[in-house]
């Protein structure tokens, strides 16, 4: 079993979906989890769920698209726990539309939240990771960032940018025993994919060799491994968790 015991983890977008599943999994592994998202009520529910199972978690309000909120949240987590050793940059949004008609605001919002926000939060936490000389940074990208997707130029660009950020940070931080990796989910059963109609699902499933959508828990298991001691010789890697949808 992958070891994250006694580590402090910060999970963004932890109020629901993949972020919630990852927070629960890290807590099951013995990590103390700082839960960050905009919805304070949902965060409180996740914290209570972890605490009821015997784990340790605390909620912190974060708008990953706002510079001031990122600084405030990072500072609050460090003041509360003294350190963050595992950072999961999971928070993200979509503003889909064909490129010809896409509004500048929809482009900016997605890039600012999905890519710039992840960079700024990482930057805010790096000084203390460097002092610890140990860290795990995991960025949640997407199969769309590897393959592209019609109607999602902004989302695909942001997720492809996360892959480039992952590789660059991995090279910069390796000498301090800080690994930086990405996970690229395929089609996962979440609130984001729940809006797909039956026709869209029928067109999607033949593209997946395993013939089904993935689960949030399957992403969480991969996150727990990359966050662990056992993954110490893996850095700069993008782990595809997509049922074979993209093989490169």
Tell me the catalytic residues.
Answer: 155
* φ and ψ at residue 180, rounded to 5 degrees: -135, 120
At 128, list the tokens: 């203390």
The Cα-based distances of 24 to 53, 73, 162, 182, 228 in angstroms read 9, 20, 24, 19, 15
Four-point Cα dihedral 230, 171, 177, 10, nearest 10 = -70
Q: Please state, in angstroms and rounded to a whole number, the distance separating the CA atoms of residues 158 and 212.
A: 26
Cβ of 197: how many Cβ atoms within 10 Å? 7
Q: Please state, in angstroms and rounded to a whole number, the distance separating the CA atoms of residues 146 and 143.
A: 5
At 77, list the tokens: 């987590």
Q: How open is the CA angle 244-247-248, to the nearest 5 degrees? A: 160
Q: What's the length of the chain?
A: 248
For residue 41, what are the contacts with CB-CB under 8 A and spacing of at least 6? none
Name the one residue in this structure whose structure tokens are 């919630």. Answer: 20
DSSP state at residue 88: E
For residue 219, what are the contacts with CB-CB under 8 A and spacing of at least 6? 18, 21, 22, 140, 183, 185, 188, 241
* φ and ψ at residue 54, rounded to 5 degrees: 95, 5
């Amino acid at each position: 079993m992958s070891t994250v015991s006694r580590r402090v983890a910060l999970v963004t977008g932890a109020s629901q979906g993949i972020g919630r599943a990852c927070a629960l999994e890290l807590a099951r592994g013995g990590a103390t989890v700082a839960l960050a998202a905009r919805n304070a009520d949902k965060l409180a529910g996740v914290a209570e769920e972890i605490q009821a199972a015997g784990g340790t978690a605390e909620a912190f309000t974060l708008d990953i698209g706002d510079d001031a909120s990122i600084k405030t949240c990072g500072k609050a987590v460090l003041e509360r726990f003294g350190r963050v050793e595992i950072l999961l940059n999971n928070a993200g949004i979509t503003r889909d539309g064909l490129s010809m008609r896409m509004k500048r605001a929809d482009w900016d919002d997605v890039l600012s939240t999905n890519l710039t926000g992840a960079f700024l939060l990482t930057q805010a936490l790096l000084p203390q990771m460097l002092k610890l000389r140990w860290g795990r940074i995991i960025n949640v990208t997407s199969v769309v960032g590897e393959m592209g997707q019609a109607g999602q130029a902004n989302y695909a660009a942001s997720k492809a940018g996360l892959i480039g950020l992952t590789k660059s940070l991995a090279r910069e931080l390796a000498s301090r025993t800080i690994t930086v990796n990405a996970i690229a989910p395929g089609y996962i059963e979440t609130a984001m994919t729940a809006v797909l109609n039956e026709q869209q699902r029928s067109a999607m499933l033949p593209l997946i060799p395993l013939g089904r959508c993935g689960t949030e828990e399957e992403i969480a298991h991969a996150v727990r491994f990359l966050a662990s001691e056992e993954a110490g010789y893996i850095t700069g890697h993008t782990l595809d968790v997509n049922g074979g949808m993209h093989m490169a």
